[in-house]
Amino acid sequence: MKTIGLLGGMSWESTVPYYRLINEAVKRRLGGLHSAKLLLHSVDFAEIEALQRTGDWEASGRQLATAARGLEAAGAELLLIGTNTMHKVAPAIEAAIGIPLLHVGDATARAVRSAGIVRVGLLGTRFTMEQDFYIERLASHGLDVLVPPSADREDVHRVIYQELCAGRFEPDSRERFRRVMSDLVARGAQGIILGCTEIGLLVDDGDASVPLFDTTRLHAQAAVETALGD
């Protein structure tokens, strides 16, 4: 079993499911008392969020690259960034390490294509929904990506940062997400990517009429498959 390195804390609310999902998958595969070999570097998300707000992606890339090098030096043999948004700085992190970086967009796109879906809706932070780094990664796998209109994007972004990242899961917000997903389906989405690692804490398969693709779950599963040599 290879040792997984996880860059977490963005937010820690979704890092907890990463740890649980990875260990559950290892247990299913190997049985007994087996658990994952895993190293975690958990950042102070307030520092990262401040850099996001000011658009200083270069500084956040340097910070996460330093953390990634530390994980590699400690024995990590593959790396996960436990957040969709910060894959914007994935190139800076990859350039700083000599171990594979498993991109959440690749793991997600493979699952979507395996389900026979081509046109997919995307929910996430406004950075993920509006900037090219994530949508183009999905498009490179042959996916046609739909995002909500501007007002809905702002609402989804607000719920993520003000509620989900703070451990708040409000029924009204769940209803809003249901409406946004329903609108994407009406526009032709055959499935919905939960492109922020906290969204799966708020909604699940019963909240939409099409398949939901939880990036946290899919990323964790890809890590275990790689660690176990699948």
Q: How far is CA 101 from CA 58, 121, 158, 206, in A?
A: 18, 25, 29, 32
Token pair for 16: 């907890």
Q: CA 76, CA 50: separation in Å to the nearest integer?
A: 28
Q: CA 230, CA 226: separation in Å to the nearest integer?
A: 6
Kindly report whether the peptide bond that precedes residue 35 is cis, defined as omega within 30 degrees of 0. Answer: no
Q: CA 165, CA 132: separation in Å to the nearest integer?
A: 23
Is 83 designated active site? yes
Token pair for 87: 């894959």
Per the DSSP assignment, residues forming a β-bridge with 194 are 123, 214
Is 165 designated active site? no
* DSSP 8-state class, residue 101: B
Token pair for 230: 């699948």
Q: CA 161, CA 180: separation in Å to the nearest integer?
A: 17
Among 108, 196, 197, 216, the active-site one is 196
- Residues annotated as catalytic (active site), given as ranges: 83, 196
